[in-house]
Amino acid sequence: MKKILYVTGSRAEYGIMKRLLLSLKNDADLELTIVATGMHCDPKYGLTYKVIESDGFSIDKLIDIDIDTSNNAKILHSMSICQSEFGKYFQNEKFDAVMILGDRYEIFSVAIAAAMHNLPIIHLHGGEKTLGNYDEFIRHAITKMSKLHLASTEEYRQRIIQMGEYPETVFNIGALGAENSLLMVLPSKTELSQRFGRLDKPYFMIAFHPETLTVVSVVEQVCELLNALSKVSDEYDFVFIGSNSDTGSDEITIKIKEFCNLTQSRYMTSVKPEEYLALNKHSLGLIGNSSSGLIEIPSLQVATINIGDRQKGRVRGQTVIDCLCIEERIVESIVLSQSNEFKEQVKKAVNPYYQQRVLETALMHIKVFMHTPSLEYKDFYDINHCN
């Protein structure tokens, strides 16, 4: 039986992977191990490893990395702890493959530790661009350490190959998150109201994270957003989801909680994957700069107002309104999102990340990879350029 490890560091990435992890857990040919780190282990972010356990998974190990988002030096300290602890873990525990998703700094540390132990890495969501965040170069660095690449669009598949990865190791499978939005059993609006309070007034979801590659301060950014929301607060309610643990996120959280106290808006540190999707499904739209607004939420036929440069370069469909992180532009985008013309556009739009049978395709490629003898060395695929 082949042994596969999945390392999860955040609620968002776990939510994307949940259905695939359940399939791996129930597969007779595989033995799944899960290790939780990063935000999952921190009370400030809701100790979300408990959500994983409530879904029926056993977590082999919790690796706390002492997250402090006050500056980049503190983030680097957390990365060093993560790399050291996973280095020790991989010294004692052997796997046929380590599976990771995305581009977060703790996952980068996991990838380095796995690669140094010569453990084959399966990477999901490589090849994507997010020019406003340090996730951008982290994601591409992880690609170079990985041996199986499950990309979410053909454009991303081609970019991975361009980076020197052999085409036969790179597959465009679509995005699990785009499929989750359609196939997960989601709570009804009544059930959401019972859990989180009444949702009678039309509301927007808000998910706003720091841009970490910018000269504009995170405080200035979030103040532009909150000033815009104040302009329309008589008409709409707002439901905030806590920020990711990126550099400066605490400053965002402080400002948002102050706004919530003044406006009686709801703030939730974290919610379960199904709850997050359902809250968006019954909303007027998602405002912020979360990747979910480009990948998952379009499947729900809900508008996304994508603010600033955090997601700059990512593929997006016609449900997304891009705007600068400027108060007036955000207000204009909110008004546009509620116009009859844009609502009709959202209803007809196609999610560029959606493909049929994403879960089954991912599982097939993973099993083939794990049962195929690995080459001793990973070579570089050179593209012949025509001048």
Count structural domains, the chain.
2
Given a contact cutoff of 8 angstroms between Cβ atoms, the answer to whether 353 and 152 are in contact is yes
Kindly state whether residues 164 and 190 are assigned to the same domain: no
Kindly state whether residues 304 and 288 are assigned to the same domain: yes
The answer to whether residue 179 is domain-embedded is no
Q: What is the pLDDT of residues 244-254, one digit of tens each?
A: 999 999 999 99
Kindly state whether residues 10 and 71 are assigned to the same domain: yes
Kindly state whether residues 144 and 222 are assigned to the same domain: no
**Averaged confidence pLDDT in the chain:** 96
CATH number at residue 324: 3.40.50.2000
Per-residue pLDDT band for 85 (boundaries 50, 70, 90) equals very high
Please report the pLDDT score of residue 357 as a whole number.
97
Q: What is the pLDDT of residues 25-43, one digit of tens each?
A: 999 999 999 999 999 999 9
| Residue 121 φ/ψ, nearest 5 degrees | -110, 130
Nearest CA among 307, 315, 133, 339 for reference residue 228? 307
Kindly state whether residues 55 and 156 are assigned to the same domain: yes
% the chain with pLDDT above 70: 99
Please report the pLDDT score of residue 168 as a whole number.
96
- Predicted confidence (pLDDT) at residue 387 exceeds the cutoff of 60: no
The answer to whether residue 178 is domain-embedded is no
Nearest CA among 55, 99, 119 for reference residue 374? 119
30: its two tokens: 């595989």
pTM surpassing 0.85? yes
The answer to whether residue 146 is domain-embedded is yes
Q: What is the pLDDT of residues 98-115, one digit of tens each?
A: 999 999 999 999 999 999
The distance from CA 162 to its chain's CA centroid, rounded to whole angstroms, is: 24
Please report the pLDDT score of residue 216 as a whole number.
87
Q: What is the pLDDT of residues 174-204, one digit of tens each?
A: 999 999 999 999 999 999 999 999 999 999 9
The answer to whether residue 286 is domain-embedded is yes
Q: What is the pLDDT of residues 269-299, one digit of tens each?
A: 999 999 999 999 999 999 999 999 999 999 9
How many angstroms separate the Cα of 177 from the Cα of each of 41, 184, 277, 291, 353? 23, 10, 10, 10, 9
Kindly state whether residues 328 and 360 are assigned to the same domain: no
Three-class SS state of 268: strand
Kindly state whether residues 159 and 224 are assigned to the same domain: no
Kindly state whether residues 99 and 229 are assigned to the same domain: no
Please report the pLDDT score of residue 218 as a whole number.
93
Sign (positive/negative) of CA torsion 362, 367, 372, 378?
A: positive
Three-class SS state of 237: strand
% the chain with pLDDT above 90: 96
What residues make up the domain containing 206? Answer: 186-348
Kindly state whether residues 81 and 9 are assigned to the same domain: yes
The answer to whether residue 253 is domain-embedded is yes
- Predicted confidence (pLDDT) at residue 206 exceeds the cutoff of 80: yes
261: its two tokens: 């106290």
The answer to whether residue 385 is domain-embedded is no
Kindly state whether residues 63 and 83 are assigned to the same domain: yes
Kindly state whether residues 167 and 214 are assigned to the same domain: no
The answer to whether residue 20 is domain-embedded is yes
Kindly state whether residues 38 and 167 are assigned to the same domain: yes
| Residue 58 φ/ψ, nearest 5 degrees | -100, 130
Per-residue pLDDT band for 373 (boundaries 50, 70, 90) equals confident
The C-alpha atoms of residue 64 and residue 61 are separated, in whole angstroms, by 10
Helix ranges, 264-326 (H): 273-281, 292-295
Per-residue pLDDT band for 386 (boundaries 50, 70, 90) equals low
Given a contact cutoff of 8 angstroms between Cβ atoms, the answer to whether 152 and 295 are in contact is yes
The answer to whether residue 293 is domain-embedded is yes
